[in-house]
Homo-oligomer: A and B are copies of this chain.
């Protein structure tokens, strides 16, 4: 029997009625002749409630205890769904990270899955059991509870699909699939029927919220076909899969944006070896994730260095960089937390020229000033003033004709 892994997000299991609907969908899949493993998120809002509770208890809650607390939401959903599946006449069992077990490293709040013991699940599937797994959580080698970071249930699902060699990993969410742009700010956005792992990864990393980037990395590594679809409709969704010829014909597959950006410029640093290390090591030590880094060519022995961090961390980063920049003889610091990043993504750009130029022209035409540029093989990102985000996304969507299926 084919193994299907299905993951249901928070809005899909927001209340008992929705959980009943999810149960019906699961039973349908089971009765179509599949072995079904289900990964669930916490009921919508539940994890936020737990996070708030933790922060009410302490400003900076102890990480081990924080993870033990915020992992609870998924446990509630898993047992409720199993209760309902059993009521509907199907044998279902809920499992937590420690029971399977989902072994992670010890990095609380953002643990990585090291290994999943598929034996227990396989045994239950052979008996016909529907296996329901609490997403987002695992245990380290000392059996401490760890969590996988925001959107971690996606990663739980893909990791399980990989461990079980499942035919498909369905990610059920509240949108129909992956769009060429966020439909909330771009009315012409179109759903994609297919996208490559690489493109999906860049889209997730540059702001598309539909999948946790780590889950896409895992899917790519183990070649797990992932289907993003809605639990409220019966649409086919978007298949995230290996790159194929058809995809290469598309120049650009999507436009993304990320408003959670703040920019720091270290002005006129004496350009000596080791300067960048001096700046970024203390940031890393304080767990501040740096997104884009731009260093201009050195002029008369001085250079400017600009980088972006999450807006939430700008104060902490400012403090750290403030003291380092004095040590390394920088002239001054410039902070701008009113910026956003817009990106275009597409495997097609590898073999086409002029994509960047077209992007810059489209932004220029709308009067949007570009503050930073960063490129990868299949992505171009520009940092712009935050107020232009919506305008820029629509302009780029139009410029690359994303509303029309090619």
* Residue positions of A touching B, CB distance < 8 A: 16, 19, 50, 53-54, 56-62, 64-66, 68-69, 72, 75-76, 78-80, 82-84, 86-87, 92-94, 96, 98-99, 143-145
A59 CB contacts on chain B under 8 angstroms: 87
What 15 new A-B contacts, CB under 8 Å, besides A65-B86, A68-B94, A69-B76? Answer: A16-B57, A19-B57, A53-B80, A54-B79, A57-B80, A57-B84, A57-B87, A58-B86, A59-B87, A60-B87, A64-B82, A64-B93, A68-B75, A69-B83, A72-B76
Bound: A316/B145 CA distance, A: 42
Residue of A54, A59, A82, A93 with most chain B CB atoms under a 10 A cut-off: A82
Q: Would you list 11 pairs from A and B whose C-beta atoms are within 8 A, ordered by A residue?
A: A57-B83, A58-B86, A61-B83, A62-B86, A62-B87, A65-B86, A65-B93, A68-B82, A68-B94, A98-B143, A99-B143
Q: Is there contact, CB below 8 Å, between B54 and A66? A: no
> Which of B60, B66, B82, B86 is close to A79, meaning CB atoms less than 8 Å apart?
B66
Q: Is there contact, CB below 8 Å, between A79 and B65? A: yes
Residue of A65, A82, A87 with most chain B CB atoms under a 10 A cut-off: A65
A69 CB contacts on chain B under 8 angstroms: 75-76, 79-80, 83
Bound: A58/B60 CA distance, A: 39
> Which of B54, B78, B96 is close to A83, meaning CB atoms less than 8 Å apart?
B54
Bound: A75/B71 CA distance, A: 10
Rounded to whole Å, the gap between the CB of A249 and the closest CB of chain B is: 49
Bound: A158/B75 CA distance, A: 27
A94 CB contacts on chain B under 8 angstroms: 65, 68
A65 CB contacts on chain B under 8 angstroms: 79-80, 82-83, 86, 92-94
Q: A66-B79, A83-B65, A83-B69 are in contact. Are A56 and B98 (CB under 8 A)?
A: no
Rounded to whole Å, the gap between the CB of A62 and the closest CB of chain B is: 4
Q: Is there contact, CB below 8 Å, between A56 and B86? A: no
Q: Is there contact, CB below 8 Å, between A83 and B58? A: yes
